[in-house]
Structure 1
Amino acid sequence: MTGERLVDAVVFDYGGVLTGPVRDTIAAWMESDGIDPESFTRTLRAWLSRGAPDGTPIHRLETGELSVEEFDALLAAELGTVDGRPVDPNGLLGRLFAGMRPDQAMYALAEELRDLGVRVALLSNSWGNAYPRERIDALLDPVVISGEVGLRKPQAPIYELTLDRLGLPAERVVFVDDAEPNVLGARAVGMRAVPHTDAGSTRAALAELVPDLPGRSPAG
């Protein structure tokens, strides 16, 4: 006998949740382009840390106010290379995300949840990266992407928009994200939230909320 189902929908982040770890993708790009890691870390901290002012280039990229080409130029100007060469801005974000690959175990988890009658959705901050729209549109509903709606995590309005599109109260929805600020942002509007590190631990956490979901992958 299974326990009571505590949620009616699971909302997934994209990069780092439905894909492999973003840090691995970034590390491969820095190695390939010869980027000085400290220059990237410094820029990321200035543009994305909790103490960063509103309206940084990353914020404006995520909300669609800044084009990919404009962001590429701004980011390239902040970065250095290990051998002192200038960073080529042309296609910079494309190269940064070139190594991003789907996490098949997470897609399988989303499919299992859907087959159990649980709504599955997407809420993602976009960095101009290409989404596999055919695959995610067929599986996830709604699909909320920051650059398309002019809002971004971890600010409350984008979570509230997602809840409105789901037509569910916050306490019946769980959000899965690999970034702590986004997890906290979901909790601040009343959603449940699961910090993601890997498919196995996320499955186990969701099985606590959806008792008819096996706690371990059928393939495992």
Structure 2
Amino acid sequence: MPGAATAAVDAVVFDYGGVLTGPVRESIAAWLKADGIEPASFSRTLKAWLSRDAEQGTPVHRLETGELTVEQFDTLLAAELTTVDGRPVDPVGVLDRLFAGMRPDPAMFELAGELRGLGIRVALLSNSWGNTYPRALIDGLLEPVVISGEVGLRKPLAPIYRLTLDLLGLPAGRVLFVDDAEPNVLGARAVGMRGLLHTDAATTRAALAALVPGLRPRP
């Protein structure tokens, strides 16, 4: 929600999928089409496992905290999906295929680099679905790197935000969290962090330019 914060910040914490990458929905749409999966079956399953009303401990929650392996999750997800021609969904490599079209967004990595050059701390806080992160890009730029499956915590629950703040060593009010999922933004705000809902690189850059002296509103 651009413009939600008006005072300067000392650190910006980015989500990964859908923020530092292109939209995840585009990769999902390509996977659904390629595998011939009924979109409604995926939407129904995602809502049951990931909506705000979902009880704790769904397969998505356990995947994000590392309690389920990718292979175990693939099997559970495939069993919930239906195809347009009635074939069973191949459970091997489901998540690999789901994320196959997701690529780093050069404009967002450029933005993170500019922020760092202006003296702003930049960090990563990501819920992992077994993703392979481009560590060569991330590790030299973002610090700390907090990935849910590595720390056994997940957004939007408070402990993972507090861990990130502890690693930054900064008060919550001086840290802005950027995510493309509103529940995760609200979770950050609940612990006192600033929250910005990401829609695209240009909008996020413009919002940050209002907070960071020297940052250009356009590249």
TM-score by length of 1: 0.96
* Letter of the 2:77 counterpart: L
Aligned counterpart, 2:55: 53
CA distance in 2, matches of 1:65, 1:111: 33
CA distance in 2, matches of 1:208, 1:192: 14
After superposition, the CA RMSD in angstroms is 0.9
Aligned counterpart, 1:37: 39
* Letter of the 1:175 counterpart: F
Aligned counterpart, 1:190: 192
- Aligned-residue offset at 1:211: 2.6
Aligned partner of 1:125 among 102, 127, 131 = 127
Is 1:171 the counterpart of 2:173? The answer is yes
**1:71-220 paired onto structure 2 within 5 Å:** 71-217=73-219
- Aligned-residue offset at 1:99: 0.6
Aligned partner of 1:67 among 69, 72, 78 = 69
* Letter of the 2:181 counterpart: A
Q: Write the deviation string for residues 87-116 of structure 1: whole angstroms up to 9, x where unpaired.
A: 000011011111111110000000000000
Count how many residue pairs are aligned between Structure 1 and Structure 2: 214
CA distance in 2, matches of 1:208, 1:159: 24
SS of residue paired to 1:204: helix
* Letter of the 1:189 counterpart: V
- Aligned-residue offset at 1:35: 0.7
- Aligned-residue offset at 1:5: 6.4
Q: Write the deviation string for residues 18-57 of structure 1: whole angstroms up to 9, x where unpaired.
A: 0000100100110111110000000000000000000000
SS of residue paired to 1:152: coil
- What percentage of residue pairs aligned between the two structures are identical? 77
Q: Unaligned stretches of 5+ in structure 1?
A: none
Q: Unaligned stretches of 5+ in structure 2?
A: 1-5
CA distance in 1, matches of 2:188, 2:214: 24
CA distance in 1, matches of 2:200, 2:218: 12
SS of residue paired to 2:91: coil
CA distance in 1, matches of 2:82, 2:130: 22
* Letter of the 1:97 counterpart: F
Contact in 2 for aligned 1:5/1:211 (Cα 8 Å): no
CA distance in 1, matches of 2:78, 2:157: 27
Which of structure 1's runs of 4+ aligned residues deviate more than 6 A? Answer: none
SS of residue paired to 2:44: helix
* Letter of the 1:33 counterpart: D
Contact in 2 for aligned 1:14/1:124 (Cα 8 Å): yes
